[in-house]
Copies of this chain bind each other. A is one copy, B any other.
Amino acid sequence: MTQPTELQTIAGGGLLDRRVFLKKGITFSVAALASESLLAETDPAQLPWMKTPGEPLSNYGQPSAHERKTIRWTMGNSMADGNGVSWTPLHDLEGTITPNGLHFERHHNGVPQIDPAQHQLLIHGAVKKPLVFTMEALLRYPMSSKLCFIECGGNSNAGWRDVPIQTAAGYVHGMSSCSEWTGIPLKILLNEARVKGRAKWLIAEGADASAMNVSIPLEKAMDDCILAVYQNGERIRPENGYPLRLVAPGWEGVLNVKWLHRLHLSNKPAMSRNETSKYTELLPSGKARQFTFVMDAKSLITHPSYGQQLNKTGYYQISGLAWSGRGKIVKVEVSADGGKTWAVAELQDPVLSKCFTRFRIPWHWNGQTAILKSRATDETGYVQPERDALIAARGKHGYFHYNAIVSWQISNHGEITHVYA
């Protein structure tokens, strides 16, 4: 096993220059030299799938049976049928796209099974021309695509607990997913309905059995909101809002109203359940924050992370995700010594606004205890805070908008746990 030289190390705990393995002469050295016994294992005569024809073509593919552990983890509310969440398994994924079957869910009264031929969108209230759109009509409108994350305001809320939760990374932070959404810029429809001067808010309502509704400032609606019809190329799936979803890039998930069937223009917000009793945050002062729309910058190391195991010392790639509701990620720093020293990770192109950004950095683990952290900076200059700083500013009764730095501890046996450090 080669050891990194001082020249290759760029921060404490064995963090390495991100381009070190693209140079000749420095090798990752994890593979085995080909030996007689190893070669025998690659012998086609020994492999069942090289001896008989495979499965036929299919109309719609599914994951391998060997990947059945890669699932959304669901948690229902036993007090209210149809109320619950499911988490994206970010610790099992790579890249930046979330496949549609694994996009997180948050439902207030289950997943309606809507017939698109019966679905309509009503735009009314403070408009000069109230309009009704069938899906057939909407499909004729100009469309636009946006690769962006959607994150529940309640994502990562286990971070407020006094004891660090011991759960896989995605099952704590995976109420955030990233897709290419395609649909009609909301501005086009609002222009057609001719919004009255007094209108300042849109009250958006879904066609589920809870008629979930929230209020959205008109300014955001006229900026970059789209009425999405397609997710990652195909029509949106039922649990993500089929046949129509309001997508508000960078803003908390609850504003991205699924099964959208009504937009009511008004001079004031609705003050609905999901913007008063929920999705508000009690501050140390005793006052509560409300209408905290934008999701602040956050990052998370997904490999290695809780529940994974390092079996050998040597080279690893640290890999994770960063995102910000305020624009592009400009920097992700990684520490392998609990925050004493930091090194800048490589950001995977393309780096897009309000979108998952994958960061990666090579690391040499020497077999000793180590604490890994990542820290994101977005294009507004905002830097992801340490947990102490977040709690000092916001107290511990906020529940929503937890975005502190996450720390993973590697034991000298290669076990990975979640720590506050």
A56 within 8 Å of B (CB atoms)? yes
A80-109 interface (Cβ within 8 A of B): 81-82, 84-86, 92-103, 105, 107, 109
Could you tell me if A232 and B95 are in contact, using CB atoms closer than 8 angstroms? yes
**How does the 8 Å CB contact mask read for A130-169 relative to B, with 1 for contact and 0 for none?**
1111100100111111010000000000000000000000
What is the bound-complex CA distance between A30 and B191, given in angstroms? 13
**How does the 8 Å CB contact mask read for A103-117 relative to B, with 1 for contact and 0 for none?**
101010111111110
Known contacts A82-B56, A137-B32, A142-B28; is-contact A180 B96 (Cβ 8 Å): yes
Copies in the complex: 2
A221 within 8 Å of B (CB atoms)? no
What is the chain B residue whose CB lies nearest that of A106?
B57
A1-30 interface (Cβ within 8 A of B): 21-22, 24-25, 27-30
* A211 surroundings in chain B (CB, below 8 A): 44, 50
Q: Closest CB-CB distance, A363 to chain B, in whole Å?
A: 10
What is the bound-complex CA distance between A39 and B229, given in angstroms? 22
How many residues of A sit at the interface, in one of the four size bands?
Answer: 35 or more
What is the chain B residue whose CB lies nearest that of A98?
B233
A352 within 8 Å of B (CB atoms)? yes
Q: Closest CB-CB distance, A222 to chain B, in whole Å?
A: 10
Known contacts A142-B28, A182-B94; is-contact A234 B70 (Cβ 8 Å): yes
* A181 surroundings in chain B (CB, below 8 A): 95
Could you tell me if B61 and A118 are in contact, using CB atoms closer than 8 angstroms? no
A194-231 interface (Cβ within 8 A of B): 207-209, 211, 229-230
**How does the 8 Å CB contact mask read for A175-195 relative to B, with 1 for contact and 0 for none?**
000001110010111011000
A242 within 8 Å of B (CB atoms)? yes
Q: Closest CB-CB distance, A251 to chain B, in whole Å?
A: 20
What is the bound-complex CA distance between A85 and B242, given in angstroms? 30
Known contacts A54-B111, A132-B34, A192-B29; is-contact A348 B99 (Cβ 8 Å): no
Could you tell me if A67 and B234 are in contact, using CB atoms closer than 8 angstroms? yes
What is the bound-complex CA distance between A56 and B72, given in angstroms? 13
A287 within 8 Å of B (CB atoms)? no
With beta carbons under 8 angstroms apart, the residue of B54, B97, B230, B350 that contacts A112 is: B54
Could you tell me if B96 and A49 are in contact, using CB atoms closer than 8 angstroms? no
With beta carbons under 8 angstroms apart, the residue of B58, B189, B315, B362 that contacts A86 is: B58
What is the bound-complex CA distance between A130 and B191, given in angstroms? 65
* A92 surroundings in chain B (CB, below 8 A): 234-235
A-B contact pairs, 15 of them (CB 8 A): A21-B188, A34-B124, A41-B118, A41-B132, A42-B122, A50-B211, A53-B82, A54-B208, A57-B239, A66-B243, A67-B234, A94-B230, A96-B180, A99-B234, A142-B360
